[in-house]
Amino acid sequence: MKALALLVLLAFSSASSTVLARGNADAGKTKASQVCAACHGADGAKPSAPDQPILAGQHYDYLVKSLKDYKSGKRSNPIMQGFAAQLSEKDMEDLAAWFAAQKSPLSDRR
Amino acid sequence: MLGAALSLGAQAAFAQEKKEAAKEVNTAMCTGCHGIPGYKTAFPEVYHVPKIGGQQAAYIEAALKAYRAGQRPHPSMRGIAGNMSDEEIAAYAKYYGGAK
């Protein structure tokens, strides 16, 4: 019975996790509260200014790529470059896993 | 009940607003990538194209202007945004932006 409960739990947790996410969302949550939350909101759904993006529910791999591009300077934004420069690749994956899994107003509107 | 009615009213107003905004934009060039759930880029790197529906309008505007100015790398988006006027960029931001 216990084994069955565990199996059900495992099935649920893998179904709700983001496709291909390699990061650790719990570690990302902690990091996000220190680095990202002031501007993007703790769950990434309520940015503090209108020109800052909603991150909640955005695709995991797009978030990782954005952070890498900020760090490398491929994507030019002085504010984000400063934050991304402090992040390791693992930090980026953890943060992306956290934000990608949050409740989101974003959609693939046509 | 009142809440539901209000919410329905808000939805209708939202739909009307998007209908109006849609007249000013040609989303055909957006939906090929952004309108397909789970769609991935093929070039130059493979990753999911971002969801833009419901994003903050001012951010979409800033993103398109950054592509136009060459501050963001994606070649297709540079090409698309490169031909847009400020007015066109504002119209696309209005169409895709906003809560739903």
Which residue has 């957006």 as its token pair? B30
Q: What is the pTM of this model?
A: 0.82
To the nearest whole angstrom, how far is the Cα of B97 from the nearest Cα of chain A?
9
Q: What is the pLDDT of residue A66?
A: 98
Number of domains in chain A: 1
Per-residue pLDDT, B38: 86
- Residue A13 CB-density burial (10 A; 0-12 exposed, 13-18 middle, 19+ buried): exposed
Q: Considering the domain boundaries, does residue A9 fall inside one?
A: no
DSSP assignment string, B32-46? HHHTSTT-B--SSS-
Is the CA virtual torsion A71, A72, A76, A82 positive or negative?
Answer: positive
* Residue A57, domain member (yes or no): yes
B79: left (phi over 0), alpha (psi -120 to 50) or beta: alpha
Residue B3 clears pLDDT 70, i.e. is over it: no
Q: Is residue A105 part of a domain?
A: no
Rounded-to-integer distance, Cα B33 and Cα B83, Å: 18
Helix (H, G, I), strand (E, B) or coil at A103: coil
Q: What is the pLDDT of residue B23?
A: 73
Q: Which residue has the tokens 């009213």?
A: B9
Chain B residue numbers with beta carbons less than 8 Å from the beta carbon of A54 are 54-56, 59
Kindly state whether A78 is in contact with chain B, defined as any CB-CB distance less than 8 angstroms. Answer: no
pLDDT digits (tens, 9 = 90+) for B36-95: 888 998 888 899 999 999 999 999 999 999 999 999 999 999 999 999 999 999 999 999
Inside any domain, residue A18: no
Instruction: Measure in Å the smallest separation between the Cα of B14 and chain A Cα atoms.
Output: 13
Would the ipTM clear 0.90, i.e. be above it? no
Does residue A108 lie in a domain region? no
As a whole number of angstroms, the distance between CA B16 and CA A82 comes to: 41
Answer yes or no: is A43 within a domain: yes
- Give B53's strand partners: A107
Binary contact (A109, B35; C-beta < 8 A):
yes
Structural domain including A76 reads 23-100
Chain B residues inside the 8 Å CB shell of A78: none
Report the pLDDT value the prediction gives residue A13, as an integer from 0 to 100.
45
The pLDDT tens digits for B18-30 are 777 777 788 888 9
User: Domains in chain B, please, with CATH?
Assistant: 2-96 (1.10.760.10)
Residue among A75, A58, A56, A55 at smallest CA distance from A66: A75
Q: What is the pLDDT of residue A9?
A: 45
CA A74 to chain centre: 20
pLDDT averaged per 10 residues in sequence order, chain A, 110 residues = 50 45 94 97 96 97 98 96 97 98 92
Judged by phi (left if over 0) then psi (alpha if -120 to 50, else beta), residue B98 lies in left
> Is A106 within the bounds of a domain?
no
Ranges assigned E (strand) in A1-110: none
pLDDT value for A10: 45
Tell me how far apart the alpha carbons of residues B81 and B70 are, in angstroms, rounded to a whole number: 10
Look at residue A16 and tell me if it is in a domain. no
Q: CATH number for the domain including A73?
A: 1.10.760.10
